Amino acid sequence: MTELELELEKKEIIRTYRKLLRHAKPFLKDDDAKIIKRAFNMSQEAHKNMRRRSGEPYIFHPLAVAQICVEEIGLGTTSIISALLHDVVEDTEMEIEDIERHFGKKVAKIIDGLTKISDVFEYGSSQQAENFRKMLLTLSDDVRVILVKLADRLHNMRTLGSMPRHKQIRVSSETIYLYAPLAHRLGLYAIKSELEDLYLKYTQSAQYAEIVNKINASKAPRSRFVRNFISPIQKELNKRRFKFTIKGRPKSIYSIWNKMNTQAIPFEKVYDLFAIRIILDLDQEMEKAACWQVYSIVTDYYQPNPDRLRDWISTPKSNGYESLHTTVMSKTGTWVEVQIRTKRMDEIAEKGYAAHWKYKGLDSSSSESGLEAWIGKVREILDHENSSAIEFVNDFKHSLFNKEIFVFTPKGELKKLPGGGTALDFAFEIHSEIGARCIGAKVNQKLVPINYKLKTGDQVEILTSNKQRPNEGWLSFVITSKGRTRIKDELKEQKKSAASEGKEIVQRKLKQIKLTLNSENLDKLLDKFNLNSALDFYYLVGKGKIDPKEIKKIKALSDKPKKSALKTVSDSESLQRKIKEATGEKRDQLLIGEDMDIVQYSLAPCCNPISGDDVFGFVSTHEGIKIHRVNCPNASELLSKHGHRVIKAKWTSQSEVSFLAGLKIKGTDRVGMMNDVTRIISSELRVNMRSVSIESDNGIFEGSIQLYVQDTKHLLKLTKRLENIEGVEEVVRFDVH
């Protein structure tokens, strides 16, 4: 770089730093500005020779994270310092002790929570899950760890364009699986929506771009519609002397895409593309009455849908969200969602947890205690550190529920449960011992089983018995983390007892054929029964689910030839080595269609990828590499928990190979419709069909066709031809299982 370019970079760094200070100025006290400057200088010095993948100096990243903390989350000095220094321990020679010496225990604790674990992990564990657990362990002391981490993740997602494709997919999947739900749970709706949109941008690029283009194309008529819709409401609010603002808030790209996919409809049929938000500026004690008054004004002009009224003012969500939502019919015949809230409620909705501190003391109602209660539940999960990191992440994911129900105890006490919560979840919510002994419940005076799903407004009485014990079946319907943790603890005790008996049986059977129970023989047995752990094996033997006679067959296993070393890999580095050994090429990418003689791989049955699909390889425990589509239903979980077992994969030219794909077809029925569909598939495009199923009801037909295609271009050509048939309304691809 030239001296002039370096000088311009320095000026830009200072300009960015001053912008941060300007936003922080309103809440700085005493020597805060000096401490922030010291943190900035330390970070700049620590990262002075480092550049990001985009080529810009690394210091821009901590500055951007600090800016998000201040401007978008509403955090203060401690968080700014932590954000500026969040990478120095991980990336440089600096230690946590140095941070504590210069900036105190609080900052050191936050940065320690943000610093990744560098230890080596045993096979079968997940470094991503371990890092996530470590970060959450600090939640017990300081929730700012999570908030700074979300700011860090948001900036990484905003700058993901400069990363290689496989990293874009892994980071995006981790984001949608854990960080977007976490942002939602902490009430950071703006950040949650942006994380979801960015996930879509990097995993479903074409669909993302198409939705963005269609939203932009409909901007002018949408603005006109919003102006006409709010005009009578504005006049009435002005007449009654309300201080207010009205916004037309567009639906996020991700939520439009989600609706298109879950309902199998095109963009043009997503009618609720935006919501109208009315924000009142008034004193807190007048909020509730004023919001209902505005609701009355809105419904005077527009007919409401009685099933779509949501009152989160009387009963706020656990993350503190307060608002009144209604859906009304506009004069043009389309449904419009109207959200009514105050300035305070809007700030809490946008800035979530952090905004509560601003209003602390003004209101001691449930808005803050709901969040505190949720954090208390997370702490309960954290107390059970004996579970594996992956189990922990699964339990934590369960606690990130979106919808809630409100139920009552026999004495009328209100309890919040996740949507889909059962009578047994309610029992564990009261007390873990009551949950463990629960045999049934009375809901609204009627006897129900323990797996009965509760609804808002139910009054629940729990029935118990001292003879009752938790069993594995409970995990299939209990969804609260408190309940699942207690059940798992109890099952582990039961499992250890059965496993102890099982181990004795195994030792006895091996002794009969003159073998000892050593690691080599144990590995052979685990491989034979397709199991990952010795505990699972001993448990199944102890419970009689593995026939002890089968154990004696281990002798025959010794005579089998071992699998070729070339056939299996454990990660992308071992794949690279095997490809180099076999071909002399240095590449870390699996070529689907060419590398079958080098490594063992197959197409995943959960998403049945076809040539041309965006894919990745995942190293499974027993079945070699599985090729998954990036938009496979299991992709985000696999990529989030086992990033080290993901490998890059690419299709090679395979014109002679056919792939199974599925198409759902829908439209208005007529004579000859079936004939036209099969003619285009079989005669004109010469595509082989595996199965066709079409049903007609009152002039509307729906069908599913499974057929063999060469690649995605071939499938797209077929889809377009079918869409052109008279009467066909939509043709959508589905996963064939």
Least confident of 137-141, 210-214, 496-500, 556-560: 556-560
Q: How high is the pLDDT of residue 119?
A: 43
Q: Which of these, 145, 597, 510, 643, lies nearest to 354 by C-alpha position?
A: 145
Q: How high is the pLDDT of residue 89?
A: 87
Q: How high is the pLDDT of residue 530?
A: 74
- State residue 311 phi and psi, 5-degree precision: -105, 95
Q: How high is the pLDDT of residue 316?
A: 84
Sign of the C-alpha dihedral computed for residues 633, 638, 643 and 649 taken in this order: negative
3 state SS of 394: helix
Answer whether residue 561 shows pLDDT above 50: no
Each residue of 258-309: pLDDT tens digit?
Answer: 888 888 788 877 767 778 999 999 988 899 999 999 999 999 999 998 888 9
3 state SS of 82: helix
Span 468-476, mean pLDDT? 90
Sign of the C-alpha dihedral computed for residues 114, 116, 122 and 123 taken in this order: positive
Residue 73: pLDDT band by 50, 70, 90 thresholds? confident
Instruction: List Cα–Cα distances, 416 to 39, 317, 353, 370, 651, in angstroms.
Output: 42, 9, 18, 9, 49
Sequence-distant (≥ 6) Cβ neighbours of residue 542 within 8 angstroms: 497, 498, 499, 500, 501, 502, 503, 505
Domain-by-domain residue ranges, the chain?
A: 3-209, 212-364, 369-473, 489-559, 565-651, 659-734
Enumerate helices (H) and strands (E) in the chain, giving the number of each. Answer: 31, 20
Distance of CA 61 to the CA centre of its chain: 24
Q: Please give the span between the terminal C-alpha atoms of the chain, in angstroms, as a whole number.
A: 55
Q: How high is the pLDDT of residue 643?
A: 75
Each residue of 678-718: pLDDT tens digit?
Answer: 888 887 777 788 888 888 888 888 889 988 888 888 888 88
Q: How high is the pLDDT of residue 498?
A: 86
Residue 195: pLDDT band by 50, 70, 90 thresholds? very high
3 state SS of 94: coil
Q: How high is the pLDDT of residue 365?
A: 41
Answer whether residue 415 shows pLDDT above 60: yes
How is 517-582 classified by DSSP, letter by letter?
--HHHHHHHHHHTT-S-HHHHHHHHHTTSS-HHHHTTHHHHHHSPPPPGGG--SSHHHHHHHHHHH
- Whether residue 464 contacts residue 437, with contact meaning beta carbons closer than 8 Å, is answered with yes
Percent of the chain with pLDDT over 70: 85
Alpha carbon distance 616, 733 (integer Å): 20
Alpha carbon distance 293, 220 (integer Å): 31
CATH superfamily of 659-734: ACT domain (3.30.70.260)
3 state SS of 449: coil
Q: How high is the pLDDT of residue 562?
A: 45
Sign of the C-alpha dihedral computed for residues 572, 576, 582 and 585 taken in this order: positive
Least confident of 463-467, 489-493, 495-499, 557-561: 557-561
Q: How high is the pLDDT of residue 383?
A: 59
Which CATH code of 1.10.3210.10, 1.10.287.3510, 2.160.20.70, 3.40.50.300 fits the domain covering 3-209?
A: 1.10.3210.10
Each residue of 310-349: pLDDT tens digit?
Answer: 999 988 877 778 899 999 998 888 888 999 999 999 988 8
Active site residues: 90-91
3 state SS of 623: coil
Each residue of 616-652: pLDDT tens digit?
Answer: 888 876 677 888 988 888 888 888 777 777 888 888 7
Instruction: Report DSSP state, residue 71.
Output: I
Alpha carbon distance 303, 327 (integer Å): 9
Each residue of 218-259: pLDDT tens digit?
Answer: 888 888 888 999 999 999 999 999 999 998 877 899 999 988
How is 296-351 classified by DSSP, letter by letter?
HHHHHHSEE-GGG-EETTTS--TT----EEEEEE-TTS-EEEEEEEEHHHHHHHHH
Residue 381: pLDDT band by 50, 70, 90 thresholds? low
Ramachandran quadrant class, 491 (left: phi over 0; alpha: psi -120 to 50; beta: rest) = alpha
Each residue of 348-380: pLDDT tens digit?
Answer: 887 776 665 555 543 434 334 455 666 666 666
Q: Work out the mean pLDDT of the chain and round it to a whole number.
A: 82
Sequence-distant (≥ 6) Cβ neighbours of residue 565 within 8 angstroms: none
Span 154-176, mean pLDDT? 89
- Whether residue 629 contacts residue 613, with contact meaning beta carbons closer than 8 Å, is answered with yes
Q: How high is the pLDDT of residue 313?
A: 92
- Whether residue 631 contacts residue 203, with contact meaning beta carbons closer than 8 Å, is answered with yes
Q: How high is the pLDDT of residue 494?
A: 83
- Whether residue 604 contacts residue 627, with contact meaning beta carbons closer than 8 Å, is answered with yes
Tokens 């955090």 found at: 75
Instruction: Report DSSP state, residue 111.
Output: H
Q: How high is the pLDDT of residue 388?
A: 61
Q: How high is the pLDDT of residue 211?
A: 92
Alpha carbon distance 571, 620 (integer Å): 10
Domain 3-209 and domain 212-364, same fold? Reply is no
Q: What is the CATH number of domain 369-473?
A: 3.10.20.30
Beta strands per DSSP E along 9-130: none
Each residue of 92-135: pLDDT tens digit?
Answer: 788 889 899 999 998 998 888 887 654 444 444 566 666 776 66
Each residue of 495-553: pLDDT tens digit?
Answer: 888 888 888 888 888 888 888 888 777 877 877 777 767 888 888 888 888 888 888 77
Span 200-207, mean pLDDT? 91
Answer whether residue 664 shows pLDDT above 50: yes
Sign of the C-alpha dihedral computed for residues 401, 406, 410 and 411 taken in this order: positive
3 state SS of 236: helix
Q: Which fold has domain 212-364?
A: Beta Polymerase; domain 2 (3.30.460)
- Whether residue 196 contacts residue 207, with contact meaning beta carbons closer than 8 Å, is answered with no
Span 557-569, mean pLDDT? 49
CB atoms within 10 A of CB 299: 14
Q: How high is the pLDDT of residue 364?
A: 38
